[in-house]
Amino acid sequence: MGFWKSLFSGSSVATSPTFIPVNGVGSPILPSENVQDSQVTQAKIFFSKDRELNLYELEELCDAVGWSRRPIRKVKKALQHSFIVVSMWEQRGSYHRLIGFSRATSDHTFNATIWDVVVHPDFQGQGLGKALMKQIIKELRRAEISNITLFADPHVVNFYRDLGFMPDPEGIKGMFWYPKFH
């Protein structure tokens, strides 16, 4: 987080700076012990492309992984102008909880760049990060985007590698403009 805090504090976050890689394949969470009205409330996971999500709920999710806060109006604008937004939800009966998020910028044609991949700490280690990424890749492929890119923190490079992402193919370097230089 140091780099991001020093450079882009409150303005931008790379792909999952505090995201802990998860293993295995995403699957519905098993029924809990909650019993309401004599019925077992079964939890399931679903994905949504709706970008009109509650931004305070998204802020709560990002807070949970320690990201720098960003102004709500800016987040709203960024979501409006993202090519795709994929959120991940836990559903228990009529109760929904935002547990994961990802988005991509794109020219709608050739290139896409995935940003802001996050899974709530309570739901890490269950393969849900992988499931979320597979979902956004599927959506980008469906839109016939061939060049899917991202910027990965060192501790998640292997997580993304397992999903089919190559670091620095043929020596191509991800570079970030640093305002203090100029």
Per CB under 8 A, residues contacting a copy of itself are 2-3, 7-8, 11-14, 70, 74-75, 77-83, 103, 105-113, 115, 137, 141, 146-154, 157, 160-161, 163-179, 181-182
**What are the φ/ψ torsions at residue 179 (nearest 5 degrees)?**
-55, -30
* 160 carries an active-site annotation: yes
SS3 8: helix
Q: How far is the CB of 49 from a copy of itself (least distance, A)?
A: 16
Q: ∠99-104-107 over CA atoms, to 5°?
A: 165
Nearer to a copy of itself, 113 or 126 (CB): 113
CA–CA separation, 134 and 126 (whole Å): 14
Determine if residue 82 is left, alpha or beta; phi over 0 gives left, psi from -120 to 50 gives alpha, anything else beta.
beta
Nearer to a copy of itself, 2 or 94 (CB): 2
Nearer to a copy of itself, 89 or 151 (CB): 151
Q: How far is the CB of 176 from a copy of itself (least distance, A)?
A: 5
Q: How far is the CB of 89 from a copy of itself (least distance, A)?
A: 22
CA–CA separation, 116 and 48 (whole Å): 16
Nearer to a copy of itself, 37 or 169 (CB): 169
Q: How far is the CB of 95 from a copy of itself (least distance, A)?
A: 30
As a dihedral over the C-alpha atoms of residue 166, residue 167, residue 170, residue 176, rounded to 10 degrees, the angle is 130
Question: Annotated catalytic sites, by residue?
Answer: 160
